Amino acid sequence: VSEYIFDKIDKGLHRLPDHPLGILKAVIENYFTSQHTEKGHFVMFDDLAPVVTTYANFDSVLVPVDHVSRSTNDTYYVTEDTVLRCHTSAHQLELLKNGHRQFLVTGDVYRRDSIDATHFPVFHQVEGVRVFEPHEWESRNISSLELASTELKTTLEGLVRHLFGDCEMRWVDAYFPFTEPSYELEIFFQGEWLEVLGCGVMQSSILDNASLGDRRAWAFGLGLERLAMILFDIPDIRLFWTSDTRFSAQFSAGMFKAGGVGMKKFASYSKYPPCYKDASFWLPDDSSFTENTLCELVRDAAGSLVEEVKLIDEFTNPKLGRTSNCYRFTYRSMERSLTDEEVNKIQEIVRARLESELRVTLR
């Protein structure tokens, strides 16, 4: 785990009442508090520790032993059998076993991922779980699966309407090892469909493991940053980490208005100019090079000054049997203009580490 990531642990942005993530979390919790079920209110958790066992993060939610998400290319390992959780689903089984039947878990999660305006290696999720009793579907004369999936979609569509009023959204069939059927919800934002949550009907074997074999449950996991970007019109995910008061002064607890009607959006202060740097290199002959590793290296060298890392050209020389990649790095500060010297220095470090750590041959 790099210094840059390590430094983010325990920042607890979602527990700051005047931070956009804290504001949105409170709105979501209030929405679920208003959903009275026969079991009463949802129970809220927001300070479960982010270091979890590989059992909790993967096995407890049925992630196969050979699944890519387990690799060090995707997940930050702390020790051989502990990781920085890559999703809040890591807490599902433990909380069910502790007797909870409907709950939300909000927390920071960690992933090695690509770099652009909607991806960041540390982000926040809200997990929701609700368990149904046999009489709830029997009394309605429908199957347990139908009850859980219908209720799931209604609840989440209700949440989206509560947040945004009328907005363009669509359900997409998805796959998660821990739910069946599974869906993702996308919302139209900045000219593109943005995936905001994954959800589904919980696999029976998870309920079995919690001694709840005769019940049904739904679960969802939403990305708090993505929803906050839409709600407040925040253009770049790095802004959540800024200490610039031109950002923080625009947010306060209680500013949310239902459906977003009449709510003040974020007024972007002027964007500073970007600085582009390209690097072309031959990949090493083994298949050790990955984009995630590259992004991790750049994030470590540039911190939040890197805005995007993008593959712009790739070709294989058939005679040499070697592949060349050209990546474009976009550097831009959210707070100030960067100097040429500063960017050149970062890029020099990136280039040197590309050769020494990722063993590419710069062209």
Q: Which residues bind Mg ion (CB under 5 A)?
A: 198
Q: Which of 151, 225, 296, 308 binds ligand FA5 (CB under 6 A)?
A: 225
> Judged by CB, which is closer to Mg ion: 128, or 198?
198
> Judged by CB, which is closer to Mg ion: 198, or 260?
198
> Judged by CB, which is closer to ligand FA5: 27, or 219?
219
Q: Is 56 in the site for ligand FA5 (CB under 6 A)?
A: no
> Judged by CB, which is closer to ligand FA5: 148, or 283?
148
CA distance 213 to 102: 16
Q: Is 107 in the site for ligand FA5 (CB under 6 A)?
A: no
In the region spanning residues 302 to 341, those forming contacts with ligand FA5, defined by CB under 6 A, are none
Q: Which of 101, 111, 112, 215 binds ligand FA5 (CB under 6 A)?
A: 111
Q: Is 58 in the site for ligand FA5 (CB under 6 A)?
A: no
CA distance 12 to 224: 13
Q: What is the DSSP letter of 271?
A: P
Q: Which of 54, 60, 75, 179 binds ligand FA5 (CB under 6 A)?
A: 179
CA distance 162 to 165: 6
> Judged by CB, which is closer to ligand FA5: 133, or 186?
186
Angular region, 135: left φ>0, alpha ψ -120 to 50, beta rest:
alpha
Q: What is the DSSP letter of 269?
A: P
Q: Which of 113, 116, 180, 233 binds ligand FA5 (CB under 6 A)?
A: 113
With CB under 6 A as the contact rule, which of the stretches 132-140, 191-199, 310-318, 355-363 interacts with ligand FA5?
A: 191-199
Tell me the C-alpha to C-alpha distance, in Å, between residue 340 and each of 75, 116, 346, 355: 34, 22, 10, 23
Which helix (H) or strand (E) segment holds residue 152: the answer is helix 144-164
Q: Is 219 in the site for ligand FA5 (CB under 6 A)?
A: yes
Q: Is 162 in the site for ligand FA5 (CB under 6 A)?
A: no
Q: How many CA atoms lie within 13 A of 133 on its CB side?
A: 7
The length of the chain in residues reads 363
Q: Phi, psi (5° rounding) for residue 242?
A: -75, 150
State the CB neighbour count (10 A cutoff) for residue 84: 23
Q: How many CA atoms lie within 13 A of 271 on its CB side?
A: 11
Q: Which of 42, 76, 123, 247 binds ligand FA5 (CB under 6 A)?
A: 123
> Judged by CB, which is closer to ligand FA5: 310, or 359?
310
The alpha carbons of the chain give a radius of gyration, in whole angstroms, of 22
Q: Is 223 in the site for ligand FA5 (CB under 6 A)?
A: yes
With H, G, I as helix, E, B as strand and everything else as coil, classify residue 217.
strand
> Would you say the C-alpha torsion 161, 86, 44, 254 has a positive or negative sign?
negative
With CB under 6 A as the contact rule, which of the stretches 38-46, 133-141, 144-152, 215-223 interacts with ligand FA5?
A: 215-223
Footprint on this chain of ligand FA5 (rule: CB under 6 A): 87, 89, 111, 113, 119-120, 123, 125, 127, 176, 178-179, 182, 195-200, 219-221, 223, 225-226
